[in-house]
Chains A and B, each alone.
Chain A
Amino acid sequence: ETGVTQSPTHLIKTRGQQVTLRCSSQSGHNTVSWYQQALGQGPQFIFQYYREEENGRGNFPPRFSGLQFPNYSSELNVNALELDDSALYLCASSLVGVVHGYTFGSGTRLTVV
């Protein structure tokens, strides 16, 4: 059983640029959620994808967007990067209808300069 894999692990971008982060869900899981964790804070829910559609969204602007693919992997795209977007981005996979928890990936550390 493979866990959740995120890439890249670290990334440095310039303000105004665009970035794509990737996540491969755990085998057997069909739902992917993305979280943003700023330094010293708890993770904040960005959005969730199920059956390739957005299935709930947190308080994030539209420049945060995502995709889910038929193999349940997912991308998080952020346009027009701002300095405050610097954070650890965590992907979590789960299985709809089965309450046994979320599996988190190791995260992508994004720094916007």
Chain B
Amino acid sequence: ELKVEQNPLFLSMQEGKNYTIYCNYSTTSDRLYWYRQDPGKSLESLFVLLSNGAVKQEGRLMASLDTKARLSTLHITAAVHDLSATYFCAVDSTGANSKLTFGKGITLSVRP
């Protein structure tokens, strides 16, 4: 059974500083997604990583995927208050019946 772990589960960030959050998964997959969720809202797609070594950047966020280590990282550059939210990674199962297995999410809070 595929398991997805995120750490830390909560991160208090200071404005202007850099941070990295992690997503580990237990079985082979080369499709990993990052989502953002604001309180009471649905999931907003941030990144789709489809191969080993994939790196994608959008604004202050950069995501990468290492399929051999079964690890994805989300790097935050110069944190700002607008980045406060919960971030989920999700791994897509391979095979005919695709489905997403999500981690528990990391709640980021940016303080002045």
Contact = CB atoms under 8 A, between A and B. Distances in A.
Contact of B102 (A42, A55, A101, A106): A42
Contacts of A94: 98
B97 A55 contact: yes
B39 to A, nearest CB: 11
B101 interface: yes
Contact of B104 (A42, A90, A104): A42
Interface in A74-103: 88, 90, 92, 94, 99-103
A106 B100 CA distance: 17
Interface of A: 33, 35, 41-45, 48, 55-56, 58, 88, 90, 92, 94, 99-107, 109
Interface of B: 4, 31, 33, 35, 40-43, 45, 48, 50, 88, 90, 92, 96-105
Name the 8 nearest CB pairs between A and B, nearest first. A56-B97, A42-B102, A45-B99, A104-B43, A106-B42, A101-B48, A107-B42, A42-B104
